[in-house]
């Protein structure tokens, strides 16, 4: 969490790459792949601390701006294409939040009505990613250069103050009018007050994510083959098994991939399976886990996506790894969805209740409250 000139960060940002040695032992090498969170929290020194949302209804002015700044920073750390690559991941997270609430729910509005509502109940990726996409859309309307200049003017205008969405929009209109920038096409009311996904779908550059999407498709195809290996009578399809193994052997080398690319692959695969209302069979999980050593990964983002895939596929073998993960850290980004997935699964509900009872006092009070609500506990 950020404070002016002082940021507290979670140990889940410490990453390591696993490497199996010749004697079979696993060695970990330090990594710095999750520095985007550091960029995010440092950016809050401007958008969040120097300028602060007036009330929780306008929380997107903290988080949407900070996501925009974070991606600007990381595009300079990596490459210009990284901005769109990470924005695609954010768009997927936004879609997940909208699906969780329902696309007509007030909490999916950019400025939700929180009258007599605990703001914690509305916490999701919506203010982060819908807010970011609103700013991204405005930058596409006026041009990237002019919008960056506007961002500087915005900071100067509202520094040391709180700000509302209305004030932001009024200042943007005035700024554009004074520079003859045409924003007549912007439907401010739809962006701000309409629930669900944004009416305008961004055209992000998918050049960095295309390889991840292709790999997800390959594993989806492999799983389809594995589904045909044995029918209900236990009769095996040897041809399908051989075809699956051959496809695995011909998968691309991912040794130079970033963890973000692996996360995009897993997220895409989860989306494909959800859309088809299918799950990974256990054989597919075992093959993927062995191929990429996911079970020994120390990268929190990879562990979260991998364990989500295992739980949704009723892969009971993942329980020890899930228990370790949800007890060694307390980030709501990870523990809430994992507890929810366990609670909905056929095999994990009892474990979710047991582990939360054991570890509840170790979580932040807000995390305790929200997980208890997810698990439908009477004291939530």
136 in catalytic set? no
128 in catalytic set? yes
% residues pLDDT > 90 (the chain): 79
Contact 310, 279 (CB under 8 A): no
Instruction: Provide the b/e sequence for 28-40 (b: ≥16 CB within 10 Å).
Output: eeeeebbebbebb
If residue 221 lies in a helix (H) or strand (E), which one and from where to where?
Answer: helix 210-227
Confidence at 235, pLDDT banded by 50, 70, 90: very low
What are the tokens at 272?
Answer: 């494909």
- Flag the least confident range among 8-12, 103-107, 181-185, 311-315: 8-12
Q: Which of 57, 63, 70, 128 is catalytic?
A: 128
Measured CA to CA, the distance from residue 312 to residue 344 in angstroms comes to 9
Q: Which of 2, 41, 129, 301 is catalytic?
A: 41
Across 167-178, average pLDDT? 98
42-65 pLDDT tens trace: 999 999 999 999 999 999 999 999
What are the tokens at 254?
Answer: 């991912």
Measured CA to CA, the distance from residue 374 to residue 368 in angstroms comes to 10
Is the confidence at residue 236, as pLDDT, over 50?
no
Q: Which residues pair with 51 in a beta bridge?
A: 47, 161
Contact 105, 195 (CB under 8 A): yes
Residue 61 CA: distances (Å) to CA of 38, 88, 184, 192, 323: 19, 20, 22, 12, 36
Measured CA to CA, the distance from residue 5 to residue 325 in angstroms comes to 30
Across 216-234, average pLDDT? 81
Instruction: Provide the b/e sequence for 276-290 (b: ≥16 CB within 10 Å).
Output: eeebbbebbbebbbe
Whole-prediction pTM: 0.80
Give the pLDDT of residue 21: 54
Contact 262, 254 (CB under 8 A): yes
CA-based radius of gyration for the chain: 22
CA 174 to the chain's CA centroid:
34
23-42 pLDDT tens trace: 655 454 445 567 888 899 89
* Three-state DSSP class for residue 111: coil
Measured CA to CA, the distance from residue 245 to residue 222 in angstroms comes to 8
């Amino acid at each position: 969490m950020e404070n002016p000139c002082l940021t507290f960060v979670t140990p889940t940002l410490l990453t390591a790459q696993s490497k199996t040695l010749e004697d079979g032992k696993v060695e970990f090498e330090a990594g710095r792949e999750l520095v985007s969170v550091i960029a995010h929290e440092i950016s809050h020194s401007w958008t969040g601390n120097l300028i602060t949302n007036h009330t929780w209804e306008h929380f997107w002015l903290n988080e949407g701006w900070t996501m925009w700044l974070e991606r600007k920073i990381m595009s300079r750390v990596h490459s210009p294409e990284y901005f769109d690559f990470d924005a695609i991941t954010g768009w997927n997270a936004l879609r997940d939040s909208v699906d969780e609430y329902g696309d007509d729910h007030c909490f999916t509005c950019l400025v939700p009505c929180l009258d007599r509502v605990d703001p914690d109940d509305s916490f999701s990726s919506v203010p982060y990613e819908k807010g970011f996409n609103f700013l991204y859309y405005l930058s596409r309307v006026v041009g990237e250069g002019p919008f960056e200049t506007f961002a500087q003017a915005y900071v100067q205008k509202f520094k040391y103050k709180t700000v509302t969405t209305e004030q932001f929009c009024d200042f943007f209109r005035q700024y554009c009018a004074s520079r003859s920038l045409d924003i007549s096409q912007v439907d401010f009311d739809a962006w701000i007050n309409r629930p669900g996904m944004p009416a305008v779908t961004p055209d992000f550059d998918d050049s960095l994510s295309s390889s991840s999407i292709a790999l997800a498709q390959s594993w989806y195809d492999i799983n389809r083959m594995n589904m045909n290996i044995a029918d209900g009578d236990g009769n095996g399809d040897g041809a399908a098994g051989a075809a699956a193994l051959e496809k695995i052997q011909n998968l691309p080398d991912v040794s130079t991939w970033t963890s973000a690319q692996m996360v995009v692959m897993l997220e895409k695969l989860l989306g494909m399976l959800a859309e088809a209302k299918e799950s990974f069979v256990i054989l597919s999980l075992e093959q993927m886990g062995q191929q990429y050593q996911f079970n020994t990964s120390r990268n929190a983002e990879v562990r979260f996506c991998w364990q989500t895939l295992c739980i949704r596929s009723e892969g009971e073998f993942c329980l020890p790894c899930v228990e370790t993960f949800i007890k060694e850290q307390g980030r709501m980004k990870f523990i809430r969805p994992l507890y929810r997935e366990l609670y909905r699964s056929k095999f994990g509900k009892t474990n979710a209740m047991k582990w939360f009872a054991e570890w509840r006092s170790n979580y932040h009070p807000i995390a305790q409250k929200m997980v208890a609500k997810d698990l439908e506990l009477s004291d939530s």
